[in-house]
Chains A and B, each alone.
Chain A
Amino acid sequence: MLVDRYDRLLWGAFILLLIAIATTTAYSLQGSAYVTQHNDRNLERKITERARFDYLADLYAPVTAALEAGDFSHALLALEEVQRSSPDEAYGQVLKGVILSKMGAIDAALESLAAGIKQNGNYIDRNGSLSYRKTVIALVANQLPLYAARVANDAEDTVALTTKRHLHYLQSRLAGGCE
């Protein structure tokens, strides 16, 4: 690739361009020449996440307050009030699952939890804001053996079968993996 004058010309241009790239890169790293069209996108993402957290925390504040106070029926009423405007919102579904599990309605609780987490896995992430990971871990650990036994005893028990499917789904999400 170095046969004639045109080849030499191209190599010369190539080397000059490499020098120009190095110079431009070094100059831009000083920061003074850095012109950017948007803020650091990771910062943008954190801002969005925080806004989402604050908004949901405000929206569901009456629900979480009643839940923490142990007033589960009041929490459920407050949740129904909020869900009138956004019935399928994932965090609402998760909260409903948590409340129902505290009330002992395990089948409905797991259905609601699975539906919420299918929509948004953040609610069982280790680092997720508004995460109920520990609650879900405890539920799966406690309930899976019971439901496995129920299904083993009666293969026609469709309620137990469905709930067991939800438990396995939650177990799979808790286990992680690339998805």
Chain B
Amino acid sequence: MNWRDRHLWLVILAGGVFGALGVMLSVWGNPANSGICVSCFLENSVGALGFHDNDRMQYLRPELPGFVLGATVSALIGREFVSRGGGAPLPRIVAGILLMIGCAIFIGCPIKLFLRLSAGDLTALAGVAGLFCGVWIGLQGLGHGVSFGQPLKERGTGWITPLFFLALLAAFFVRPGFLLFSERGSASLHAPWFFSLGAGLVLGGLAQRTRFCITGGIRDGLILGRRAPLLWGGIAFIVSAFLFSVLVGRFNVGWLGQPGAHLEAVWNFTGMLLVGIVSALIGGCPLRQLIKSGEGDTDAGLVVIGMLIGAALVQAWGITATTAGVPSGGKIAVLTGLALTVLSMLLFRERETE
């Protein structure tokens, strides 16, 4: 490990800032242990746009446009904004849907997984195990030739996703009549918009610059061991989140009574297993997909569209888990998601004998 490497320290800084803001956004008004949660934010935002009718989950979260536009600005400054894509578009949309199903069963994305864990929520441990296993299985797939194709340079298409999120941000401020905002439930809990948007922009920029990604950190850790900067970024994220949780008095170790958590360990494991496999196969967790879409990657943009669809479906169909547990529809959905993933690994495999 080269401790003099400036990039390594930048990744560690990004992890630290993610951990700190993940806790602080919750202190400033976001739901407990959900300071940053890409899947929750997506479910809230599609609800605000009217794609589902759960009136407790409707709020256009400014963090989301912040992530994407922060990444866009950072990519433009670093001259890394390149329109590219074209690798298996339809499977990527499906992958986005599957990511949201996995997150819905666990109640949170990989970022929230570690925010929950660092706040003392032991129910997240099964999710951690599932995510590690999932990334490992995904890596095995990649090693055995599973591939969704290489992106090609495109002209101008990379701007579509950033412009879409810019439009969402404009809608947040203009407040057209079709937007819905919850007056109760978790979506009614939110930090002031300038904190949310500011944090989103900063984190989006940092994540773009450093390639910060939870599943990417696990993947690199499994491949490179301690030499992986992203692994250290992930560790910095967990340590920072833990310290801030303690500092603000929100650290509470235990299994029971944790916010936004259920005790069905098998399904926590399975949900994150699905997220881990899919993330490894498509090159990043839900946050990473948002960031890549912000730097011109239309393949990631399609995953984001899939995530938006998935976020609407899990709410509209009652798939998502709650503190009461995992509904049977959710169990069937996550198993179906795993089956589809395994099938796609068979279909998208380049075999040596072919």
Contacts and interface: CB of A to CB of B under 8 A. Distances in A.
Interface of A: 1, 3-4, 6-7, 10-11, 13-14, 17-18, 20-21, 24-25, 27-28, 33-38
A137 to B, nearest CB: 32
A11 B347 CA distance: 11
A10 B324 contact: no
Interface string B268-288: 000000000000000000000
B328 A34 contact: yes
B224 interface: no
Nearest to A28: B328
Contact of B326 (A18, A21, A35): A35
A124 to B, nearest CB: 25
A102 B126 CA distance: 70
B77 interface: no
Contacts of B332: 21, 24-25, 28
Given A4-B351, A37-B320, A37-B322, A17 B328 contact: no
Contacts of B327: 34-37
B339 A18 contact: yes
Nearest to A18: B339
Contact of B318 (A13, A14, A28, A36): A36
B139 to A, nearest CB: 13
Highest count of chain B CB atoms <10 Å: which of A1, A27, A28, A37 = A37
Given A17-B342, A38-B318, A24 B351 contact: no
- How large, as a class, is the contact surface on chain B? 20 to 34
A7 B346 contact: yes
Contacts of A1: 346-347, 349
A33 B328 contact: yes
A37 B324 contact: yes
Contacts of A28: 328-329, 331-332
A103 to B, nearest CB: 35
B335 interface: yes
Nearest to A44: B53
B339 A11 contact: no
Nearest to B315: A37
What DSSP secondary structure best describes chain A's contact surface? helix
B318 A10 contact: no
B328 A35 contact: yes
A167 B198 CA distance: 54
Contacts of B347: 1
B7 interface: no
Contacts of B336: 21
B150 interface: no
A24 B335 contact: yes
B226 to A, nearest CB: 29
Contacts of B325: 35
Contact of A24 (B328, B345, B354): B328
B351 A10 contact: no
B247 interface: no
* Shortest 7 CB-CB contacts between residues of A and residues of B: A28-B328, A17-B339, A35-B325, A14-B342, A21-B335, A6-B144, A37-B322
A21 B336 CA distance: 7
A7 B335 CA distance: 20
Contacts of A14: 339, 342-343, 346
A20 B320 contact: no
A25 B332 CA distance: 7
Contacts of A35: 324-328
A27 B331 CA distance: 11
A1 B348 CA distance: 10
Given A24-B335, A28-B328, A35-B328, 6 more contacts: A17-B335, A34-B328, A35-B324, A36-B318, A37-B327, A38-B54
B187 to A, nearest CB: 15
Contacts of A21: 332, 335-336, 339
